Amino acid sequence: MIFYFSGAGNSRWAAETISVALGDTLCTIGDKVLKGDTIDIKDGERIGIVCPVHGWMPPMIVRKFVSLLHAKGKHYCFCVMTAGDSIGEAMHILKNDMEMVGLTLDAAFTLIMPESYVCLPFFYTDKPLKEQCKIERATRDLIQYIEDIKKEKSVKHLKKGFFPIILTYVLGIPFNRMLITDKPFRVDTERCLHCGLCAKVCPVGNIVMRSDSTPMWKRCGLCTNCMACYHHCPAHAINHWTTKNKGQYTFKNNKPK
Ligand SMILES: Cc1cc2nc3c(=O)[nH]c(=O)nc-3n(C[C@H](O)[C@H](O)[C@H](O)COP(=O)(O)O)c2cc1C
Ligand code: SF4
Ligand code: SF4
């Protein structure tokens, strides 16, 4: 079983590619967490988690999801974490979370993909050429990772960046505590096309449409700032802190459910 979380579609593409190659079933993490039930894993079943890194940590929703897992016996577990450039110690945190529920993370991979974080000054989407290069490289890396997973190898291919402990524990923890919020989301009602796509693509159901068919953020506590709503909006009508006049990015084959 492969569980994934994705905002701009990078991790979704990786999860779908792995699922096709292995013939394993795909499942969305957002839906599982919204349900809130314990997730029973069949004896001996392979478990894959595919998700982005958020502020050099696993997204909070992914950590909540891991806490719901219930598995007995031996399982081969792997995680593919997509990132704009580095994951710090995020995989170490996920590994510890998995151990808390009795699972061992056997294989761990980083896939460098186009940038999706744009909420703070100096954070932009990548230029088209850089996006293209990253996707080509990620496609090649993923083929190799799938071979490792098929053979159930215990391997690590991680891009932690310089000073990963500082990235995660000095910068990442306050980033995730203070800057992951849906409060700053605004819609430009002049631009909005009333299409409802933002609500449809939100992986945690945090957007409802008002009676005038513009979006409202529910503040349900599950928003991870994955930026799916911002990046998918066909009118670039959604803003958060410093996103005005910044680019949008979605993985090119990513289609809303
Ligand atoms: C809230 C947020 C935080 C992010 N933090 C990091 C980070 O710490 N390091 C990094 O390399 N990329 C970071 N990124 C970029 C994403 O991890 C990267 O673009 C990822 O592939 C997006 O996957 P997705 O399209 O499946 O959501 C961040 C993106 C978001 C939205
Ligand atoms: S996706 Fe954009 S245009 Fe469509 S309803 Fe949402 S804000 Fe409006
Ligand atoms: S409201 Fe937007 S940023 Fe927050 S989880 Fe939903 S799609 Fe992602």
State which CATH number among 3.30.190, 3.40.50, 3.10.450, 2.40.170 fits the domain covering 2-177: 3.40.50
Residue nearest to atom 8 of ligand 2 (CA): 192
217 lines ligand 3 (CB under 6 A): yes
- The yes-or-no verdict on residue 99 having pLDDT over 70 is yes
Q: What is the CA radius of gyration of the chain?
A: 18
pLDDT of residue 253: 58
Give me ligand 2 centre to Cα 176, in Å. Answer: 26
Where do the domains of the chain lie? 2-177
Residue 6 confidence (pLDDT) above 50: yes
Q: Which residues pair with 156 in a beta bridge?
A: 108
What confidence tier does 254 reach under pLDDT thresholds 50, 70, 90? very low
Ligand 3 atom nearest the C-alpha of 226 is 8
pLDDT in tens, 50-95: 999 999 999 999 999 999 999 988 899 999 999 999 999 999 999 9
- Could you tell me if the CB of 231 is within 6 A of ligand 1? no
At residue 84, φ and ψ (nearest 5 deg) are: -70, -40
Measure 156 CA to ligand 3 centroid, in angstroms: 30
Segment 152-207, tens digit of pLDDT: 999 999 999 999 999 999 999 999 999 999 999 999 999 999 999 999 999 999 99
Beta carbon of 215 within 6 Å of any ligand 1 atom: no
pLDDT tens, 100-147?
Answer: 999 999 999 999 999 999 999 999 999 999 999 999 999 999 999 999
Strands of 5-68, DSSP E = 26-28, 39-41, 47-52
- Residue 212, pLDDT > 90, answer yes
Of the pLDDT bands very low, low, confident and very high (cuts 50, 70, 90), residue 41 is very high
- Ligand 1, atom 22: closest residue by C-alpha: 52
Q: What pLDDT sits at residue 45?
A: 94
Ligand 1 centre to CA of 137 (Å) is 17
**Residue 142 region, left (φ>0) first, then alpha (ψ -120 to 50), else beta?**
alpha
Angle 90-100/60-68 helices, nearest 10 degrees?
20
> Do residues 30 and 62 touch, judged by C-beta distance below 8 A?
no
Question: What share of the chain in percent tops pLDDT 70?
Answer: 98
Burial label, 3 (beta-carbon count in 10 A; 0-12, 13-18, 19+): buried
Q: Are 156 and 201 in contact (CB under 8 A)?
A: no
- Would the pLDDT of 255 be above 90? no
Ligand 1 pocket: which of 116, 165, 248 to mutate (most atoms within 8 A of CB):
116
Return the structure tokens found at 114. 């186009």
Q: How far is the CA of 144 from the centre of ligand 3 (A)?
A: 31
Give me the pLDDT at residue 202, please: 98
- Tokens of residue 43, six digits: 């004896």
**Among all ligands shown, which has an atom nearest to the Cα of 190?**
2
- Residue (of 195, 203, 193) closest to 254 by Cα position: 203
Cα atoms found within 13 Å of the Cα of residue 93, Cβ hemisphere only: 24
8 CB within 6 A, ligand 1: yes
